[in-house]
Amino acid sequence: MKRNRRTLAIGVLVGLVVWGGCGAAEDASPAMNVEVVATQSHDPRAFTQGLEIDGDVLYEGTGLPGASSVRATNRHTGEELARVALPAPYFGEGLTRAGDTLWQLTWKDHTAFARDPRTLAEIGRATYEGEGWGLCTRAGRLVMSDGTDTLTFRDPVTFAPTGSTRLTSNNTARLNELDCAEDGSVYANDWPSDRILRIDPDSGRVLAVIDASGLLPRTAVGMGEDTLNGIAQIPGTDRFLLAGKNWPTTYEVRFVPA
C-alpha cells in the first residue's frame, strides 16, 4: 500500500512536470482577438510592407519590383506629405524611424535605405546579410525580422548587428512586419497567417497570440498575397492600426482577451 502510494505520488509529480513543460512550450501564451474601433480608407495599389506612426506622421513602405515606395501622410487628415519611389528592381519591406533616420529594408536586396524622415530623400545605404522583412525601433536599437523565428538587433546609426533573440515557442513562425510598442513588447505578424504574436524581445517569450483573421473579406483574386502586413501603435493609446497588402481599408483596433 505504502509502495503504491509512493508510486502514485511519483507518477502524479512526473505527470505535472510533463504537463507543465508542454504547456510552457505550446499554450502558455494567452489568446487574444481583435476589436475594430474605426476604419480608414487605404490605397489598394499599395502592396503594404511596413507601417509606423511617429507623432502625427504615418509612414508606409510598399513592395514589389518597380512599384516599391515610401510614403508619409498626416495620420489625422490623410494628407500626403511626401512620397519617394525605390529604384527598380528593389523590393521595399519594413521601415522605422530612429532619430534623424528613417530606415527602410528591402526583401532580398541586402540593402537598407537611410532616409530623411521629413522629405524621405535617400541619405545613405547600409548592407546586411540575409533577407529583410520587418523593422522597428526599441530602446535605442533597431529590431529586425527576416522571415524566421529570430529577431536581430541593430545599431540605429550604422545598422550593424548587435545581438539576436530566438522565440522560446512558436518556432515555426515566419516573423514579418514588426511594431515596437510603447510597453517594450514587439508585435509581429506571422506570415502568411492572420496571426500576430506579442513578443518579449529580451527573452524571446511569446506573451500573446492574437487572431486578426476576418478583417478583410478574402476575394480570392490575385495570388493570395493580400496578407496582413502593417502594425502601428497609435501613440499614447492601447490602439493599433492594422493594414495589409493591397487592402482597401486600414483598421484601427484594440487587442482583447479571447
Give contact residues for ligand DDQ (rule: CB under 6 A): 49, 65, 107, 133, 147, 176, 191, 225
Nearer to ligand DDQ by Cβ, of 107 and 251: the residue is 107
Q: How far is the CB of 61 from ligand DDQ (least distance, A)?
A: 10
Q: How far is the CB of 52 from ligand DDQ (least distance, A)?
A: 16
Nearer to ligand DDQ by Cβ, of 190 and 205: the residue is 190
Could you please report the per-residue DSSP string of 2-49?
A: HHHHHHHHHHHHHHHHHHHHHHHHHT-SPEEEEEEEEEEE--TT-BEE
Q: How far is the CB of 195 from ligand DDQ (least distance, A)?
A: 14
Nearer to ligand DDQ by Cβ, of 96 and 205: the residue is 96
- Using alpha carbons, list the distances in angstroms from residue 118 to 54, 115, 195, 222: 11, 8, 32, 34
Q: How far is the CB of 187 from ligand DDQ (least distance, A)?
A: 16
The beta strand positions in the chain, using DSSP E, are 31-41, 48-54, 57-62, 69-74, 80-85, 92-98, 101-106, 111-115, 122-127, 135-138, 141-145, 150-154, 161-166, 175-180, 186-190, 195-200, 205-211, 228-233, 239-244, 249-257
Q: How far is the CB of 237 from ligand DDQ (least distance, A)?
A: 27
Nearer to ligand DDQ by Cβ, of 189 and 250: the residue is 189
Nearer to ligand DDQ by Cβ, of 100 and 225: the residue is 225
